[in-house]
Amino acid sequence: MGGGGGAEEELTAQETALYDRQIRVWGVDAQKRLSKAHVLVCGMNGTTTEFCKNIVLAGVGSLSLMDDHLVTEDDLNANFLIPHDESIYGGRSRAEVCCESLKDFNPMVRVAVEKGDPSLIDGEFLDKFDIIVVSCASIKTKLLINDNCRKRSKHIAFYAIECKDSCGEIFVDLQNHSYVQKVGGEPKPKELAYPSLQEAISVPWKNLPRKTTKLYFAMRVLENYESSEGRNACEASLSDLPAVLALRKDMCDKMSLSESQIPTALLERLLAAGKKQHPPVCAILGGILGQEVIKSISGKGDPIKNFFYYDAADGKGIAEDIPPLSSD
Amino acid sequence: MASSPASAASEEEAVKAAKVLMVGAGGIGCELLKTLALSGFRDIHIIDLDTIEVSNLNRQFLFRQSHVGQSKAHVARDAVLKFRPNINITSYHANVKDAQFNVEFFKQFNVVLNGLDNLDARRHVNRLCLAAEVPLVESGTTGFLGQVTVHVKGKTECYECQPKPVPKSYPVCTITSTPSKFVHCIVWAKELLFAKMFGDKNQDNDLNVRSNESGTSKSDVFERNADEDLDQYARRIYDHVFGYNIEVALENEETWKNRRRPNPIYIRDTLPEEAIRQNGSSRDINNEQEEPSAMVSLGLRNPQEIWSLADNSRVFLEALKLFFEKREKEIGNLVFDKDDQLAVEFVTTAANIRASSFGIPLHSLFEAKGVAGNIVHAVATTNAIIAGLIVIEAIKVLHGDYKKYRMTYCLEHPSRKMLLMPIEPFEPNKSCYVCSETPLLLEVNTKTTKLREVIEKIIKSKLGMNLPLVMIGSTLVFEDGEGLEEDEAANYALNLEKVLAELPAPVVNDTKLTVEDFQQELSCSINIKHRDEFDEEKEPDGMVLSGWSAPVEKQVTSNGGNQSVASSSGADYADGIVEDISTKPGMKRKLDEVLELKENCDASSSAQVVEDDDDDDLVMLDENPKLAKKKRLQ
Ligand SMILES: [Zn+2]
C-alpha cells in the first residue's frame, strides 16, 4: 500500500527460509509489507478459495473470511478447502470450514472468521482492513462496500471477482495508487487514479473503444437483470434468457451499441453456468487476483487498471481500462 | 466447459474416463494435482523423485512443515485424497528416467502433464511421449512469467523443436584469471575453491596449487600439514588463494594490458589483529547448534546485508575451520548444495573477497546464494495460473479438439491488453533431430578426440540421451546400461579411451555414426566432418555440433536487475524453465508479429497466429505473408 510504513524490523530466520523463493521475486521490503496487511474476503467459492490459498502462502498479516451460508453439497465442487465429509462441514458456515483448512497452510498467517452480512458492512468496520475482496454478492452490495471504502480516510483497496463457469471478471479499485514502476531496470515512482465501481459500470457504451471485450457488456447486462429482479450474483439461469435478451436490446438501444457486441451465445453460456465454477478457471482468476493484491500491497509492479477478463473459450486473459482516459 | 451443453457433457465423460500421468509434484505439480482432482479426473498417476524442503512450503501448498524430508509424490497424493477421497491417485517416489517408466508404461496414459524443474527430464519425457504417441502438455514458471505448451506427435512441434535455454557456462580463463562479474567469482568459489577444499580430490581442478613459499616442499598447498594448527591452515589458504595466486596472475603483463589490475589480498591487511591472534572465542557457541554456521558464531544475523571485506574474511576463515572441526568426515565427498548453510557461507565470502580483489561490487549472502544455487524465483500465484491452463489444454486434448489447442504465455505486463496470451501451436520443425529424421553434423578432430569425449559432451550432454548406444556402420562400439557381458563391458571401456580414428571401425571424415537410446526409443545419425583446429574460447568443447537446435543461454531478470544464472554444473530450477521469449531467436520474431502486428513480417514459419482486430477469433497466417495479409483485411 502507498505507505507500508514501519518496515523497520527484520524478517525472522523462519520467515526468510519459508519465503526465500518469493523474496527473490519481490524483495524483502515487499515481504515485510505483506506481513502487515489485513485482508477481508466476503463470499467463499472456488475462485475466492484459490485467492485465499495464494495470499496465505504469500504471507499476509491476516485474512478474515465473511460467509455465513451453511456449507451444502454444491459448495464442494470447486472448493478444496471443504473436506468431503458431512460430519465435518454439516451445520457449519462456509467461512468456518474454509478458515479451519486455511490455517494449516501457513502458521505465520492469522486466519479468522468475521460473522455478518456483506450487504450491511459499514465504513468503520472496513478500517480494520487494507484489502477487501467481494464475490457472489449483488451489484448493490458491491457498490455499497466500494463506496464505503472510498469514504474512509484510510486507503482501502477494493476488488470484486466473479467466475461463471469458463468466464471470469475481476474489478479493481485502488483509488489513488502510488507505486514503483521498473522502466528498463530503473525504478520510477508512478501514480494511478482509479474510477469507482459506480463510475466504471456506468460509462456510456458508445464512449468505449470498439475492441472492448464483449464480456464487459455481457456482465453488465446480467448484473442489471439480476438487480432488477432483486437477485444475488449468479442467481439467473438459462430460463431467464428471453428476459435477458430483451434487456440487452433495451440497453443497446439506449447506449447506441450494436447488439452483436453482446452475442446471444455468450449470454447463453453465462446463464447456463449459473453458480457453477470451472476449477481451472478458478485457479487462473484466483491466481491473477492474488498477484494483483500482492502488487497493491507491495507497491511494486504495474497493477491492473481496472478490469480483468478471462474466457477459456478463446484462452485470452485481458486487462481493460474503463472508462478509457480519453473519454472524459 | 466453454461450449454447448452436449459438448460439455462429452468433455465431462472424457475427463472421467481419462488416465493421466503427471511428472513432477513440485510448485506446478501441487497446484495441478489439486486442479485435476477438482475438475473431475479420477485416475491420476504422479512421479516425483524429490523430498520436501522448507523453501517449498511457500507455494507447494499440499505440504506442511511436518512433511519436510518426505516424498513429494506420496504426500501430495495423500493431501488431495483428503478432499477428493473417491478418486485414484497412484504415486511414485522415483526418477522419471528409471527403466520402469518405459514406452510401454507411457502408452497406458491418454495424456502426460509435465510440471518439471529441469531440462534433462523434460527432454526425456518428450522422447517417451513421442515414442508412445501420447500427447504431452508441458509447462514452466519463473517469477510472474509462465507458459503452457501442447505437443502432439505429427500435429504440433515437439518440446525439442525449438531451442531451449540452458544455464550459461563461462570460459575457464574468465573464471580462473579475469573475472569481470560477480557471477564469475561465485563460479570460481563454488566450482574451483569449494571443490578443491572439500570435494573429490581426484577431480580435475584449474586452481593453482603450487607455491614458492620457502619451507613448503609439498606440491599441493591445499594439503594440511600434520602438525598444522587449524587457524594457521585457514590463514595460509586465505593468503594463497586471495594473495599469492593474484600476485602470480599479475606477473602475466599481457593479460592486464587492457584490464584493471586486481589487488592481492592478504589476511594481515584485512584482519591485522587476527593475523597474530588465535581466534578461539567462538568455539563454544557452536557446540549448541545442530547445523554449524559461521555467520551465527560470529554474531552476524542478517543474510540480506552486504558485509564488509573484513567481515567476509572472518566468516570465510570461520566457515573453513567449522568444516574441519564439525564436518571432517564429509571432506573429500562434498558437492556444493544451496541448502547447506556452511557451504553457502564459504562460497559467498570467498566470492566476495575475490570480487573485492577485482573491483567487483560485493553481494549479500542471500543474493550470492541465489546465484550460486541457480535459484529461480517462484511464487504460488503463477504456478496456480499455469496449472489451470494445463488442465484446460488437457481437456481439449482428451476431447480431441485439435484446432483449439493453444500455447499460452503468462506475462508480467499486459501486451496488447493481454496478460494471458494464447498462441496457436507451431507445426513440427522439419529439421528437429528428435521428431524428424534429419542427420546431424559433428565437426571434430578425429585424430585427437576420444570416444568418451563425444559421448559425454555431445551424445549425453547435448542430445540428452540417457543410455546411449553408438554404432559405426554395423559395428557396435559402445553401449551403456546394465546386463552387459563382462567382456563386452571391458571392450567398450577400452573403446571409450580410444581416439575416434583408432576405433575398431575408424571414424574419419564423412563417417556416419548412428546413436540410439532404447529407453527413449530415439535414434539419430551423425555425419562426421574432420577439422584440425578449434577456438578455445568460442568452441570450448573442441567440437561443434550442427543441425540441432542449439540452446540459448539463459538470463534471468530479477527484481534487482539483470542476473545471470551461472554455473556449468547441473541446472536447478525452482519450478521449471520459462523460455525467455525475448532470447529465443525463432520465438522472438514470431512473438513480435503477434505483439506488434508488423506489417512487413516475414512469416516464413509454418503456422502463425495473429489476432484479428475486428473479431475475438484467432486468424491463422500461413506461409505466404501476402495471403495472410489479405485474410486479415477481409
Ligand atoms: Zn521436434
User: Does residue A165 belong to any structural domain of this protein?
Assistant: yes
pLDDT at B464: 86
Q: Is B595 within 8 Å of chain A by CB?
A: no
- For residues B373 and B347, the answer to whether their CB atoms sit within 8 Å is no
| pLDDT score of A255 more than 90 | yes
Closest alpha carbon within chain B to A281: B388
* Ligand 1 centroid, distance to A55 Cα (angstroms): 39
| pLDDT score of B624 more than 50 | no
User: Does residue A98 belong to any structural domain of this protein?
Assistant: yes
| C-beta atoms of B420 and A284 within 8 A | yes
pLDDT digits (tens, 9 = 90+) for B555-595: 332 333 322 222 333 333 334 444 444 333 334 334 433 33
pLDDT at B16: 95
pLDDT digits (tens, 9 = 90+) for B496-509: 999 999 999 899 98
* Average pLDDT value for residue range B217-233: 81
Could you say which residues from 409 to 428 on chain B have a Cβ atom under 8 Å away from some Cβ of chain A?
410, 412-414, 417-422
Catalytic positions of B are 173
| C-beta atoms of A58 and B379 within 8 A | yes
Helix axes A279-298 and A13-34, enclosed angle (nearest 10):
80
pLDDT digits (tens, 9 = 90+) for B538-554: 888 889 888 765 554 44
State which of A273, A295, A310 marks the end of a domain: A273
pLDDT at B6: 64
* Average pLDDT value for residue range B420-431: 91
Domains of chain A: total: 2
pLDDT digits (tens, 9 = 90+) for B3-44: 555 677 788 899 999 999 999 999 999 999 999 999 999 999
User: Does residue A311 belong to any structural domain of this protein?
Assistant: yes
The nearest CA of chain A is from the CA of B379 a distance in Å of 5
The residue length of chain A stands at 328
Which of B162-166, B354-358, B471-475, B494-498 is predicted with the least confidence, judged by mean pLDDT? Answer: B162-166
Residue among B387, B613, B618 whose CB faces A283 most closely: B387
| pLDDT score of B475 more than 70 | yes
The parent domain of residue A222 ranges over 202-273
pLDDT at B461: 85
Which residues in chain A are closer than 8 Å to B392, comparing Cβ atoms? 280-281, 312, 315
B382: left (phi over 0), alpha (psi -120 to 50) or beta: alpha
* Ligand 1 centroid, distance to A98 Cα (angstroms): 45
Could you say which residues from 596 to 625 on chain B have a Cβ atom under 8 Å away from some Cβ of chain A?
613-614, 616-618
Which residues in chain B are closer than 8 Å to A180, comparing Cβ atoms? none
Which of A43-52, B74-83, B194-203, B349-358 is predicted with the least confidence, judged by mean pLDDT? Answer: B194-203
Report whether B59 belongs to an annotated binding site: yes
Closest alpha carbon within chain B to A167: B2
User: Does one domain contain both A192 and A297?
Assistant: yes
Mean pLDDT, all residues of chain B: 81
Which stretch of DSSP H or E encloses residue A223? helix A214-228
User: Does residue A6 belong to any structural domain of this protein?
Assistant: no
User: Does one domain contain both A63 and A163?
Assistant: yes
| C-beta atoms of B384 and A59 within 8 A | no
pLDDT digits (tens, 9 = 90+) for A117-172: 999 998 899 999 999 999 999 999 999 999 999 999 999 999 999 999 899 999 99
pLDDT at B556: 32
| pLDDT score of A28 more than 80 | yes
- Which ipTM did the prediction report? 0.95
pLDDT at B377: 75
One-letter identity of residue B192: L
Closest alpha carbon within chain B to A287: B381
User: Does one domain contain both A155 and A178?
Assistant: yes
pLDDT at B123: 92
User: Does residue A2 belong to any structural domain of this protein?
Assistant: no
User: Does one domain contain both A311 and A183?
Assistant: yes
pLDDT at B600: 26
Distance, first Cα to last Cα, chain A: 27
User: Does one domain contain both A209 and A86?
Assistant: no
| pLDDT score of A210 more than 90 | no
Which of B28-37, B56-65, B75-84, B607-616 is predicted with the least confidence, judged by mean pLDDT? Answer: B607-616
User: Does residue A5 belong to any structural domain of this protein?
Assistant: no
User: Does one domain contain both A168 and A253?
Assistant: no
User: Does one domain contain both A191 and A210?
Assistant: no
Residue among B58, B303, B413 whose CB faces A302 most closely: B413
- For residues B390 and B137, the answer to whether their CB atoms sit within 8 Å is yes
Percent of the residues in chain B that have a pLDDT greater than 90, as a whole number: 49
pLDDT at B213: 55
User: Does residue A215 belong to any structural domain of this protein?
Assistant: yes
- For residues A148 and A251, the answer to whether their CB atoms sit within 8 Å is no
| C-beta atoms of B55 and A17 within 8 A | yes
Q: Kindly provide the residue ranges of all beta strands, DSSP E only, lying in chain A, ordered along the sequence.
A: 38-42, 62-66, 110-113, 131-134, 157-164, 167-173, 176-183, 186-193, 307-311, 316-320
User: Does one domain contain both A297 and A162?
Assistant: yes
Could you say which residues from 229 to 268 on chain B have a Cβ atom under 8 Å away from some Cβ of chain A?
none
| pLDDT score of B491 more than 80 | yes
Q: What is the Cα–Cα distance from B153 to B538, expressed in whole angstroms?
A: 35
| pLDDT-based confidence at residue B521 (cuts at 50, 70, 90) | confident
Report whether B69 belongs to an annotated binding site: no
Percent of the residues in chain B that have a pLDDT greater than 70, as a whole number: 80
CA distances from B330 to B12, B202, B316, B333 (A): 55, 15, 18, 6
User: Does residue A327 belong to any structural domain of this protein?
Assistant: no
User: Does one domain contain both A92 and A218?
Assistant: no
| C-beta atoms of B384 and A105 within 8 A | no
Which residues in chain A are closer than 8 Å to B390, comparing Cβ atoms? 280
| pLDDT-based confidence at residue B628 (cuts at 50, 70, 90) | very low
User: Does one domain contain both A178 and A37?
Assistant: yes
pLDDT at B274: 64
| pLDDT score of A260 more than 50 | yes
| C-beta atoms of A316 and B35 within 8 A | no
Which of A33-42, A169-178, B192-201 is predicted with the least confidence, judged by mean pLDDT? Answer: B192-201
φ and ψ at residue B273, rounded to 5 degrees: -70, -35
| pLDDT-based confidence at residue A78 (cuts at 50, 70, 90) | confident
B567: left (phi over 0), alpha (psi -120 to 50) or beta: left
The nearest CA of chain A is from the CA of B6 a distance in Å of 12
Which of A203-217, B519-533, B549-563 is predicted with the least confidence, judged by mean pLDDT? Answer: B549-563
pLDDT at B166: 61
B571 strand-pairing partners: none
CB pairs under 8 A between A and B: 198
Which residues in chain A are closer than 8 Å to B2, comparing Cβ atoms? 165-166, 269, 311-313
| pLDDT score of B606 more than 90 | no
pLDDT at A1: 40
| C-beta atoms of A54 and B420 within 8 A | no
Could you say which residues from 115 to 174 on chain B have a Cβ atom under 8 Å away from some Cβ of chain A?
143-144
* Domain CATH for A92: 3.40.50.720
**Residue B240 is placed in which grid cell?**
594463497
Q: Which range is most confident: A59-68, B176-185, B295-304?
A: A59-68
More confident residue, B616 or A9: A9
| pLDDT score of B620 more than 90 | no
Give the ranges where B59-191 is alpha helix by DSSP (H). 72-83, 103-107, 119-132, 172-176, 182-187
| pLDDT score of B406 more than 80 | yes
pLDDT at B168: 66
| CA proximity to B614, closest of A214, A201, A317, A320 | A214
Report whether B28 belongs to an annotated binding site: yes
pLDDT at B211: 67
User: Does one domain contain both A233 and A285?
Assistant: no
| pLDDT score of B622 more than 50 | no
User: Does one domain contain both A61 and A90?
Assistant: yes
pTM metric for this prediction: 0.81
**Domains and their CATH numbers in chain B:** 5-164+377-423 (3.40.50.720), 180-359 (1.10.10.520), 440-546 (3.10.290.20), 583-633 (no CATH)
